[in-house]
Every structure is written in C-alpha cells, then in structure tokens.
C-alpha cells in the first residue's frame, strides 16, 4: 500500500521561501504523477502543480513564477518550493498521486499545515 508523507517547517516568515517534501513509500514512484494541493479557509482547495517522474512539470498559472516542484527518484521524494510567501500562503499542503486516466488525485497524503507569520 503506497503511502505519501508530507514534511517541512510548520512556520515560515513573510518574504521567505516555503519548502516541503513528500516522501513516497510502498510503491514505485514512476507508476504515478504527483501534485501539490493546498487548502485554506479563504481559498478552499487549490491545485498548485504536478510533476512526472521524468521531471516534467505543470504549474497553476496563478502561482507560476513563485513555485517550483521537482522529483528525486533516487530518494522517492517530491519537493515543493514557494518563494516570497505572504499570509495568503498559509494553508494545509497536500501531496497527491495521480493515475494516467480520469483520476488525477486518487490518493492523498495526510497534509501538513504551514503558517506564514513573523
């Protein structure tokens, strides 16, 4: 049974960079592609970006330029970086896997809360 586990700092200062890691266990990372999704009371669920095991990426246009996602197949990890954060980036961040059919988010990690505050 594949498991996705998000990790990273729970508190980031305004204008700094938010960095999170999603560790994939219990399965081959190359079988799926992976998205980062965040959820905040103000904006609901928002897709951030996805990455294939090949390194191919796609970003939400509303965040493109501030966000970078990458994959490390040797470590079975997917990474997210959001630069120049503000309070609006405070959210629970989820890693989710996608199948190459009608299920872009068929299984999610438990999520990690990131607060942006000085």
Partner 1 sequence: DIQMTQSPSSLAASVGDRVTITCQASQDISHHLNWFQQKPGKAPRLLVFGASNLETGVPSRFSGSGSGTHFTFTISSLQPEDFATYFCQQYDNLFTFGPGTRVDVK
Confirm or reject binding of residue 52 to partner 1 (CB under 8 A): no
CB distance 13 to 86 below 8 Å:
no
Q: Could you tell me the smallest distance in angstroms from the CB atom of residue 97 to partner 1?
A: 11
**Exposure letters 12-48 (e unless 16+ CB within 10 A, then b):** beeeeebbbbbbbeeeebeebbbbbbbebeeeeeebb
Distance between CA 9 and CA 30 in Å, rounded?
27
Q: How far is the CB of 13 from partner 1 (least distance, A)?
A: 26
Q: Which of 19, 40, 46, 76 binds partner 1 (CB under 8 A)?
A: 46
CB of 38 to partner 1, least distance (A): 11
Within 57-96, the residues that bind partner 1 by CB under 8 A are: 58, 60-61, 94, 96
- Interface ranges with partner 1 (CB under 8 A): 35, 44-47, 58, 60-61, 94, 96, 101-111
């Amino acid at each position: 049974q594949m498991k996705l586990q998000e990790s990273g700092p729970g508190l980031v200062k305004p204008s700094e960079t938010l960095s999170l890691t999603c560790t994939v266990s219990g399965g081959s990372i190359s079988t799926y592609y992976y998205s980062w999704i965040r959820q905040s009371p103000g904006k609901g669920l928002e897709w951030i970006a996805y990455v294939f095991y090949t390194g191919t990426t796609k970003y939400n246009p509303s965040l493109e330029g501030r966000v970078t996602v990458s994959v490390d197949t040797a470590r079975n990890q997917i990474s997210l970086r959001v630069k120049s954060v503000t309070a609006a980036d405070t959210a629970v961040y989820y890693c989710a896997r996608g199948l190459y059919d009608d299920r872009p988010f068929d299984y999610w990690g438990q999520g990690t809360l990131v607060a942006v505050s000085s």
